[in-house]
Structure 1
């Protein structure tokens, strides 16, 4: 399902939850998760587009994020809408198939979506993922296995990967 940007009848709300990678802003349209943004995220939309503050639509999202950061959850089961181009949505759907604690390269992700020559385009789509952590774009690495760009910063990407492998600390902050 794709919603047009800022449809006049949609009801946008947001809340901020604490996490071991810092504050996370959760955004919903009509009660359905459409965004999870880190405090200093590269492609973070302007705050005025997040709607009114209201924690009510985010009870289950916050609960699952707490369980993830406590090490009690390895995947998420939440309704969400990811607004983007058809190509971006294919990339974001494929991200959800990368197992917890594992990584793949941008080239491997391009292969998985049937476009083996689109590694750069996959990287650009990955960088615009509107629901970080839950849609695990942090699990995609460069062709040599090195960490490359991450909207939440490379320190956050390294923390999330180490955390999922069981070698990280309890908090980045």
Structure 2
């Protein structure tokens, strides 16, 4: 199967089948033009106050655009801190990041369960992650290693269920501090 090429292609990935197209390309282009660090199946590095931060990202696993083999190998020795970034926290991606030794993985996609029952929690995650980890900080273990996982509940809904119940929207601010 050939790869889609070009600026508005799928970053070398074959097109997803049966997925509604959301016109994201113009927004991506605007972010890129403003200096955004695009993490679509690639690695990037930021220097913040003299600290080298390595980010390893994947395209959306929910529509099978993730290509971990393009970024595999774990954190580089040259970075002060490394983390994995993925839209949807599917177990295959969490397992890969964790087995490769990433100490932190950031994800979203779940909308915090979106429809929750008070005193019980989320009914679904919209991926294969268990409902106990649908939002917030937890850990993930794979191949004898453990990573911290933060799943943001976010602010949105999905097009099939355009409401939230017992799941307030949220934006997350994480403050990372050294282990000293």
The alignment's TM-score, normalised by the length of structure 1, stands at 0.27
- Greater RCO, CA 8 A, separation 6+: 1
**Whose strand fraction is larger, Structure 1's or Structure 2's?**
2
Q: Which has the larger radius of gyration?
A: 2
**Whose helix fraction is larger, Structure 1's or Structure 2's?**
1
The alignment's TM-score, normalised by the length of structure 2, stands at 0.26
